[in-house]
Structure 1
Amino acid sequence: MALQQTVEQTVTGLGYDLVEIERSAGGLLRITIDLPWSPEAASQTPVYVTVEDCEKVTRQLQFALEVEDVDYRRLEVSSPGLDRPLRNEQDFVRFAGEIIDITLKSPMGAAAGGLVSANRKKFRGTLERVESAEVPAQWQIVWRDEPAVKPGQKISKKRVPAPLQVLGFTLDELREARLAPIVDFKGRASSQEAPSA
């Protein structure tokens, strides 16, 4: 049985979602798990993967990988963390409204229309779903190209904010998408568009 299949069967059998499998130098096998999500559960208080969850999956995986004779030196099972990868349509539905980082497979080129660099492939913005009669489900990110604010710098209230920019995309056009790892130690900030990456 292939590694992907063995890990996926074990993780889902224990009631978790498999987010990522990564093999690293030195024989490290890194498995990222998350709790299952459904639109109905979205309104409830979020629940996160605990150390006990990771221990439970680790014990079961060690047994399954030994039975399947998978070669590895060290096994690491963890939660997705702040920069969780978005891999499928359900991930995008789940995290609509969040700030994400995306990397396109190819640069913007002529489609940029002079609004952004034609060579640009990386963007950071708020994820939104767009539904229309022509396109059943498409995604877009919305951002402002604001200059970075230095610590302690005062911002004039008269300063005109940079215009909002929008980039529409399909999942096939993405090389990678992740939640933006934004930490606010002062508590929840008001929802504002993040500057581009």
Structure 2
Amino acid sequence: MTAAAPPSRIRKRNTKAILAAALDVFSTEGFRGATLDQIAEAAALSKPNLLYYFPSKEAVYLALLGSALEEWLDPLRAIDPGGEPVAEMLAYIRAKLAMSRSHARESRLFAGEVLRGAPHIHEVLHGPLRELVDEKAALIAGWMAAGRLAPSDPHHLIFSIWALTQHYADFAPQVQAVLGDGRDPIAEGQSFAETLFRRMLTP
């Protein structure tokens, strides 16, 4: 059986252009407001050319969501069972805040999907996402039981980290408006979050 040929350079380039354009469109217009015409125009491609790579708007959207979710979960996967617990949790917080700076549109795309009831990723949330969170919550619970972290509910600890760190991406205009010009919300947020969680987690 002949192996499938690797994607051509043109295919890779056009797929990347489509996904980048779609991220701009979906993150501002939402799934319902976005159109294939808008995405094609932003990608500098014709609509028929776009449909050659993705058969529908939903296919583009699902590709973006899948990629965004994988990237957002990478820092959670990186929590090291062999590491020093407080340091591992603070590193996770720093990584999440860094992604709120570099992947703000992806965060807003994901938030919009969840606010609509997660119709496109319901199975992912109930399957792979839940399994990963349960795995890390069990690790954190073990650290707490061993006296290496102050006790709390591990799942809600993870939720609170998500809420704090992704707020800086999902509500960036509000945060910047309140802080005013000349201030760096992410840098200030990191200093605050590290102080908050260090005090909370240190036995």
| TM-score, normalising length: structure 2 | 0.30
Kindly indicate which of the two structures has a greater share of residues assigned to helix. 2
- TM-score of the superposition, structure 1-length normalised? 0.30
